Chain A
């Protein structure tokens, strides 16, 4: 089945700096890669996603890049703010069952004021 590896597990930055989280996947047929943000006590919320027909997608301070050859994708957050502090999860398709997701282990992002 699909395997998604996420790094780093923790990331600490100063307010205003950029943050980058990287994920690799194993299934070359994968074509959908969402990123979720999870705040304490809440369910994950989709913040951005990318499909395999594009290499980059941006939404204000958030961007995701995809390298299908290398089988990795990254989340970039610019001008970080304290409210960006949360756990971030990448995900990829979960193998033989079209629709389920395999999640990375998560990155705890802390933005210091």
Chain B
């Protein structure tokens, strides 16, 4: 079946612009996660949506970052007033029930801020 998809695959923007990154989770998965991977680094947790519960935003690095998940499916990660240090690969994952359940990752969006 279809896996997690993300768009765009690559995004180049200028410093100070806003960007939106999209994630389509696996159909029926109730949990959705955003991670950030800087060059040569591990994955840094950003935000976690589980069903209708309030999202866990504890990993968002600043108030320029926000995310929403509409209708329990598609999610959008928004970065306002982008900075060069925001350049990274942004990965989305989903899992069937959350908790200690397998997370399936999308291919990521590579963001470059000039």
Contact = CB atoms under 8 A, between A and B. Distances in A.
A100 B102 contact: no
A93 B45 contact: no
Interface residues of A, number: 26
Contact of B100 (A36, A93, A102, A103): A93
B43 A34 contact: no
Interface residues of B, number: 29
Interface string B23-47: 0000000010101000011111100
Interface of B: 4, 31, 33, 35, 40-45, 48, 50, 56, 58-59, 91, 93, 95, 98-108
16 contacts: A36-B105, A41-B107, A43-B108, A44-B91, A44-B105, A46-B103, A98-B98, A98-B100, A99-B31, A99-B50, A99-B100, A99-B101, A100-B48, A100-B56, A100-B59, A106-B42
